Structure 1
Amino acid sequence: MRNALDLKRFYMGACYYPEHWDEALWADDLGRMKEMGFDLIRIGEFAWSIFEPQEGQFSFEFFDRFLEQAITLDMKVIMGTPTATPPAWLTHKYPEVLNVSMEGTTYHHGQRRHYNYSSPIYLELCARITREMAQHYKDHPAIIGWQIDNELNCETNVFYAEADHLAFRRWLQQKYGTLESLNQAWGTVFWNQTYDHWDQVHLIRPTVSDSPNPHQALDEKRFISDNTISFAKLQGDILRAEAPNQWVTTNGLFGHLDSHRMSDEILDFMSYDSYPQFSTIYPDSGEQPLLDRKWSLSLSNVRDISPNFAVLEQQSGPGGWVNRMQMPSPHPGQMRLWTYQSIAHGADMVLYFRWRTATIGTEIYWHGINDYHNQPNRRVAEAGLVGKELQKVGERIVGKRYVAQVAMLRDYDNEWDGELDQWHGSLTRPSELSWFKALQYAHIPTDVVTVRPGAEMVQLQDLTKYQVLIYPHPAILREDTAAMLQKYVENGGSVVFGCRTGYKNESGHCRMQPLPGPVAELSGIQVEDFTMVNGTATPVSVQLNQHTNLFDAPSFNDILRVHADTVKVLGTYASSYYKGKPALTVNRVGEGKVYYWGAAFDLSIAAQLLSELQIVSPLKNWCELPDTVEVAIRADDQEELVFLLNYSSEEAEIKLHVPTEELLQGSKLQGTVTLEPYGVWVLKK
C-alpha cells in the first residue's frame, strides 16, 4: 500500500508566519481563522535564526508563546524544519555549504535554497537543529506533524559545489564498482573520454557547444535525486526517533527527485503546493488550452505517490515575486474552485498560502487571504465559505479514493534523459497534455502512474484496474517494464505507444535491435525508418480507415512495417516520401490490444483513439455535461461522490438523468440545471 494521509476528519487552514507580525496580531488572527472554519496552521519552515540565533545557542521562547495561543483556540500546527534557509551566521562561517553553478559561481546568502546537500558541516548542523526542535516539540499538544525543509529542489535542482563532486564520485563508485564499468556505462570510448583514475570524474562541467556526455548527464540526475533523498532522510530519521507520535511529510514535486522513493522511505504521506495559475501564466500552446484546469494533471501525479495527500500551500490570491511570476487576481469563485480541484483529486488537508500577504521581502506580491490592510475582502469571504462547507461535508469526503479507468504512464529515466535528448524529450509533455485534454473534455477521470525500476511486477497488480494505459514516448524502456506490459495486455488491458518507443536501455545506450526494441514483438511491428518533421514546410498527415478527414502526425514520424499477422493497420501516412506506409496499428495479444502511433499525439488523434478504445465517461448515462466541466469521482465502500468543477466564466448547463443530492448546498437537483461560473458541486451518485 502506498503511503497516504489517513484522517478521520478534514483539516482546513493557512500558512502562518508569526515572526513576520507583531505579537499583538496573533490572537486576532487565530480567532478569525477559527471563525472561518480553519483548524490547522503551518509554521517555522523559514525561522532557523529564531530557533538558533547563534551557533549552538537554541531558543524556543518565541514560538512557544505563539503555540500557547494556538492551544487556547484548539488550533493544530504543522512544524517545519527550517533548513531551506540557513542563517547568515552559518553561511558566513561555513561558506562551503553554499551551492555553486555549473560554471563555478557561488550562490550567496540573500535568497533561499542557497545550500548544497553534500556539505558535511551542513548535514551536521541540519541534524542538530532538527534534533533540538524534535526533542523540544515532540509532546507538544498543538503539533500534529512535521514538514521536512521546504520544496526540495525548488529554485534550483542542480548542485556543483566541491562537496557535490566528491559525493557524486562516491555514488558512482558504489554503483559501478570499477572505472571499467563506469566507462562502459558512459560510453567514454566516444570522443576519447575514457577515465583511468576516479579523481578525473566529476559532475557535468561546462563543455564546448554545451553538449555533455548524455549518459553522464542521466547519472547526474539520478545522483541528485539520491542525494536529495539522503538529505531528507537525515531529518526524517531524527523525527521518527525523537517524535514518534507526530507524522512526517514534505511539500512540493520538483525536478531531479524521485518523490515516490522519498515518500516510501521517509514520509507518512506526500504533500503538495497547488498553484493553478502557473498554468495560466505558462499556458500550453496547443488547441483548446486547459489553462488552470491543467493543474489537475499535476495533482494526478501527487495522487500516484499518496492516494490521499495534503496541500500545504493552496493558491489564495494573485502571486508573484518582485521580479517574476506576475499572476492576476483570481476571479470571484476561482479560489474556491481551485480548492475543490485539489480536494477532488485526493487532498484531505488543505492550507491556503498564506493567511496575510507579506509586507516585506521577495514575496510582497504573493498575496494571501488577507491583504496588507487586514480588512475584510472577497478572498477572506470565499475562504470562509469553503471552511464552513468542509465543516459540514468534510467527513464524507475524507478517506475516499479517486476512481479512474485510464492511466498515463511516466518514468523518471525518460524525464531526466529527455532534458538533454531532444530526439525524444521534446515529445512527451505535449503528447501527455493532448491525451489529458482529450480525456478531460470527454469527462473521463484519469490517473498518472510512474513506472518504477524493480517494482514492475508489483505494479502490475495495481495496473489491472485500468482499461487503458497510455505510454506516449518511453525511449528508455527496460526489459522488466516490457514484460509487465506484456502480462497486462495478455490479461485484457490495452496499451497505447507513440513514436520513439523502446530504442534506449537504462544507461541511455541505443539498442542494436529493431525498434521499438523490447516491445517490438508485443506491438507486432518494426520501425523501418524514422524522421523528425518539426520545421518542415508542410505538416505530415495520416489517413485513418473509414475517415475522410486527415489527421496531423506532428513532430516525429516512425514509419512502420507489420511483422505479425495479428496486426491491423488502422491508418497510413497520406503525405511525404513514405505515403502509404503504416502510421497507426493495433495488435491483439491474448485478451488485450497494443496500439502504436508513429508520431507525437495531438488532441485530435487522442480523441479519435479514445473512440477506437471505446472508453466513455462513467457519467455517460447519468448526466450530460459541457466541455468546461471537469469530472472527478472519489469513492469508498459506502458511497461515490461526484465532483463537478466549472472552469468557465459562464454558467454551465447540466442535464441530470437521475435526481441527486448536492452536498455543499444541501439541495436536491434534477433535470436541466445550471452550475454558476467557476462553480463546484459535490453530488452523491
Structure 2
Amino acid sequence: MPETSPRGLTRLAFGGDYNPEQWPESVWHEDVRLMREAGVTMVSLGIFSWALLEPSPGVYDFGWLDRIVDLLHENGIRVDLGTPTVCPPAWFYRAHPEALPVSREGVRYEFGSRAAICHSNADYRAAAATITGKLAERYGDHPALAMWHVHNEYGVPVSACYCDSCAAHFRRWLRTTYENVEAVNEAWGTAFWGQRYAGFDQINPPRATPTAVNPAQALDYKRFADDTMRENFCAERDILHRLSPGVPVTTNFMTALSQCDSVDYWAWGREVDLVTNDHYLITDGRRTHVNLAMAADLTRSVAGGAPWLLLEHSTSGVNWQPRNPAKAPGQMARNSLAHVARGSDGAMFFQWRQSRRGAEKFHSAMLPHGGTDTRVWREVVELGASLDSLSTVRGSRTEADVAVLWDWHSWWAQNLEWRPSEDHDPRERADAFYEALYDRHLTVDFAHPEADLSRYPLVVVPALYLMTEAAGNNLKEYVERGGTLVVSYFSGIVDEHDAVHPGAYPGALRDVLGLTVEEFSPLLQGQLVRITGPDGSELAGDVWSEFVVPRGAETVWTYADGLTAGRPAVTRHHLGEGTAWYVSTRLAAEGLDALLGWALEDARVAPRADLPRDVEVVRRTGESGSYLFAINHTGSDAKVPLEAHGTELLTGERAAGRLALPAGAVRVVRLDG
C-alpha cells in the first residue's frame, strides 16, 4: 500500500513550486544553496514541463530533470514530482485540435493559457498516460522522490467541455448511471416542457438554450464533468502506483475557493493517498484569516481528520485579483502556522523563485525579485526555522468541537437558474455560520450530510437546498439520540435530482424540525424584516422570509412586520433526546451569534469567553503529545489560559497559567503529560 505522507520526510514540509526550467542552469546551484539557508525540506517540480520533457511526439529529454533532481537530492531536499498533464504541448494541440475544450456557447478555446483540456478526449488521455508512465519508469525509485503530484488544480479554469466527444461520453455515463432512457426521463422530469427522450442518442450536453435549461440535466452534467476529471486522475494514479510502488500520489485541491466549486472533494478525498490543498487569501475586505481557517478545516475534513498538506499559498500578494495587497509583516507566518494548527503537516508556497516572465510574474514568491535583501526573504528564513522547531507536531490530529454540513452537489443545484431569489447565496450562509462559530472560538469539522455525526454535540446546516432522504433521516436520528441541530432557511427542499420532495417544505427536514413551510417570501433588495423575541428584544433579517407553520416546534422569535408578520421566524423542536433549531430569514452576525448561543446551551458546549476576538486557539494531539496553537490576529497583546504546564516550542520557554501572546504573534505549547 502507498504511504499517506511524503516518503522520507521526517520534518514538516516547507518549500514551494520550483520551476528551474525558467532559469539558466547557472542559477540552480544558487537556488539550492538558498533553499538550504531557508530550511526548505521539499519542492514541487515539473508540473508545467511537458513541452520540455517531450519536445516533439515520442521524443523525450529528461537530462535537465535528471540534473535538478540529483542536485536537490545531494542537498537533502525531497521532491514532489509532478506529472505535467495540466499543460499539453503546442505540438499536441496542433495534431489534436479537438482536445481543446468547447464552451456551452460552442466556442472552442485556444492554446496559450493553461488547463485547456477536454477530459473526454481519447488522444489527451492516451498522451497523458504515456508521459506519466515515462516519468514513473525513470524516477519511480529515485531516492529524492517523496510523492507524486498529478496534474494541477483540476477544474481550474475549465471543468466542463461541451464538444461532440463529451456528448458521446455523457451518453455512456448516463447509460451506466441509469441503465435505460426511461430512468433518465424520470430523474430529469422531462415531461415538463416536452423534453422527453426516446433514446440516449437524442441527449446532448446542456448547451446554450433560449431560456433556462433542464436543471436536473445541468446538475447531472456537473456530476459527469467531475467524474470525468477524476477518471483521468485515477488513470494516472494507477500507473504511478504500478510503476512506483510505495510512493504516495496526490493532486492539489482548492477546497474552499468558490472559483473551484466544480469539484466534489468528498469523492476526490477517497482517491488520493494524501490530501493536499492550495489556499490564497481573497482580499475583498473581509477577515481573511477566518476564510483561511475555514479552508483548513474543510481540507482536514475531506482528509477524514487525518493530517493533510498545504501545497500552495503565497508569501505576500497574488496577481489575479482586482487588487492585490501585500501581506503585513508577520502575516505570512500567521497564515502558515494557522494551516498547521488545523492539521497541515507543513506549509508550501507558489513559488520558490519569483518569475520574470509570464502571467504570474507579479505573484509573490519565497525568493522575490528583490532577492535576499527583502522583508519577504527574511520572513521566509524565519518561518523555516519555526517549522523546524515544530517537527514533533507532524502526524498529530486537530481536535474539533462542532460540525457544519457541506455538500458540493447542493451548491451545484442551488446555483442553477431560476431560484426564488438571486440574493440568496448558500456559500455566503456557510461563510457566515462558520465565522460565528469561529468567533466563539470553536474548531469546526465539516461533514457530508449522510456521514456519522454522533461525536458532535452541535451540527449546523447553513443552507443545503439539496438533501437526500437518507440525509434527512440521518439528521433526525442524530437529534433523537441527543444531538443539537441548527438549520438555516431553504434547506432540505429537493432530492438528488433537483426534484422537490413530496409534500410541504422543507421536505427532508420536516420531521426533525417539527414544522412545515407553506410558502417562501423572498425580500426585495435592501428590504429588512424585524423579528422579536419573547422578552421584547429585536433582531433584523434580510433577503428571505417564510410562512412557517409549527407542527410540534415551539416559536422562539416571531416576525414583527412584512408579509409574514406574526408568524414564527426562529423555532425550536424537542425530538427524542435532542433539539433542532430553525431560522427562516437571513440573520446578520449579531443574530447568528444569539442563535448559536442558545443552541450551544442545548448542546452543553461551554463558552470560551476568556479569549479575545481574533485570537485563535486550536489543539493538535498525537502519539508525540498534545499541542496548543495560539495565534493572535490582532494588534494588541493577549493572554491565553492554559489548562496544563508545557513548553513553548518557538521560544523554548516554559509556559504555565496564562500564556503571553504578543500582538500578531504565534505560540505553540507542547503540554506536559
Say yes or no: TM over 0.5.
Answer: yes
**8 Å Cα contact 1:290-1:437 kept in structure 2:** no
Shift of 1:410: 1.0
Q: Which runs of 5+ in 1 are unaligned?
A: 284-288
Q: Which one of the candidate residues 392, 411, 414 is aligned to 2:407?
A: 411
1:369-399 Cα deviation digits (max 9, x unpaired): 212243331111111111112212221x111
| Residues 341-356 of structure 1 aligned to structure 2 (within 5 Å) | 341-356=338-353
1:201-216 mapped onto 2 (5 Å cutoff): 201-209=203-211, 211-216=212-217
Asked if structure 2 preserves the Cα contact closer than 8 Å seen for 1:333 and 1:677, the reply is no
Q: Secondary structure at the match of 2:253?
A: coil
- Listed as ranges, the matches of 1:44-63 within 5 Å are 44-63=46-65
Match of 2:543 in 1: 555
Letter in 2 for 1:475: Y
Alignment of 1:296-375 (within 5 A): 296-306=293-303, 307-321=306-320, 324-375=321-372
> Alpha carbons of 1:97 and 1:77: their partners in 2 closer, same or farther (altered >3 Å)?
same
Contact kept in structure 2, 1:151 and 1:252, CA below 8 Å: yes
- Asked whether the 8 Å contact 2:531–2:540 carries over to 1, the reply is yes
State the secondary structure of the residue aligned to 2:425: helix
**Which runs of structure 2 are paired with 1:30-429 in the superposition (5 Å)?**
30-209=32-211, 211-253=212-254, 254-265=260-271, 267-276=272-281, 278=282, 280=283, 282-283=284-285, 289-306=286-303, 307-321=306-320, 324-395=321-392, 397-421=393-417, 422-423=419-420, 426-429=424-427
Partner of 1:581 in structure 2? 567
Counterpart CA distance in 2 for 1:325 and 1:202 is 36
1:489-638 aligned within 5 A: 489-535=479-525, 537=527, 539-546=528-535, 548-564=536-552, 567-614=553-600, 624-636=610-622
Alignment check: 8 A CA contact 2:372 2:378 kept: no
In structure 2, the CA distance between the partners of 1:399 and 1:424, relative to structure 1 (3 Å rule), is: farther
| Aligned-residue offset at 1:679 | 1.7
- TM normalised by structure 1 equals 0.91
SS at match of 2:547: strand
| 8 Å contact kept, 2:556–2:572 | yes
Structure-2 separation of matches of 1:21 and 1:66: 12
Amino acid in the other structure paired with 2:377: V
Superposition RMSD on alpha carbons, in Å?
2.2
The alpha-carbon deviation at position 665 of structure 1 amounts to: 1.3
State the Cα distance separating 1:583 from its structure 2 match.
1.4
Q: Structure 1 residue 536: deviation in Å?
A: 5.9
Q: 1:256 to 1:544 in 2, by over 3 A?
A: same
The question of whether the paired residues in 2 share the 8 Å contact of 1:274 and 1:342 is answered with: no
For residue 495 of structure 2, what is the amino acid of its counterpart? N
Of stretches 658-667 and 357-366 in structure 1, the one that deviates more from structure 2 is 658-667
* Partner residue in 2 for 1:439: 437
CA distance in 2, matches of 1:656, 1:533: 45
1:406–1:334: structure 2 CA closer, same or farther, 3 Å change rule?
same
Deviation at 1:8, TM superposition (A): 5.0
**Secondary structure at 2:105's aligned position in 1?**
coil
Q: Distance in 1 between matches of 2:406 and 2:138?
A: 41
Q: Which amino acid aligns with 1:14?
A: G
Q: CA deviation at 1:509?
A: 1.0
- Amino acid of the residue matched to residue 442 of structure 2? I
- Once residues 657 and 184 of structure 1 are traced to their aligned partners in structure 2, the CA distance between those partners, rounded to angstroms, is 59
- Tell me the equivalent position of 2:475: 485
Q: Take 2:147 and 2:581, find their aligned partners in 1: how far apart are those partners?
A: 46
Query: Alpha carbons of 1:617 and 1:329: their partners in 2 closer, same or farther (altered >3 Å)?
Result: farther
Residue 286 of structure 1: aligned partner: none
Cα 1:502–1:76 shift into 2, 3 Å: same
Deviation digits for residues 491-547 of structure 1 (CA, Å, limit 9, x no counterpart) = 21111112122221211011230222132122111113321114264x11111223x
One-letter amino acid of the counterpart of residue 542, structure 1? I
- The structural deviation recorded for 1:666 is 1.6
Maintained 8 Å contact 1:502/1:517: yes
Unaligned runs of 5+ in 2: 255-259
CA drift at 1:638: 5.8
Question: Deviation of residue 670 (structure 1)?
Answer: 5.7
CA distance in structure 2 between the aligned counterparts of 1:594 and 1:470, rounded to whole angstroms: 10
AA matched with 2:638: E
Alignment of 1:653 with 2:638, yes or no, is: yes
Structure 2 CA distance for aligned equivalents of residues 655 and 153 of structure 1: 41
Aligned to 2:257: none
| CA offsets 1:346-369 (integer angstroms, 9 cap, x no match) | 110321221111001111111202
SS at match of 1:293: helix
8 Å contact kept, 1:271–1:310:
yes
In 1: Cα distance, 2:37 partner to 2:640 partner: 37
Contact 2:290–2:438 under 8 Å retained in 1: no
Q: Which amino acid aligns with 1:133?
A: L
C-alpha change, 1:493 and 1:506, in structure 2 (3 Å) is same
CA contact (8 A) 1:14 1:355 kept: yes
Corresponding residue SS for 2:520: strand
Q: In structure 2, do the counterparts of structure 1 residues 403 and 4 end up closer, same or farther at CA, with 3 Å as the change threshold?
A: farther
Give the conservation status (yes or no) of the 8 Å contact 1:435–1:602: no
**1:98 touches 1:161 (CA, 8 Å); kept in 2?**
no
1:540 counterpart SS class: strand
Which amino acid counterpart does residue 291 of structure 1 have in structure 2? T
2:141–2:244 Cα contact (<8 Å) kept: yes
Distance 1:36 1:597 in 2: 50
Separation in structure 2 between the aligned mates of residue 318 and residue 614 of structure 1, nearest angstrom: 38
TM-score, normalising length from structure 2? 0.93
Deviation of 1:268 after TM superposition, in Å, equals: 0.5
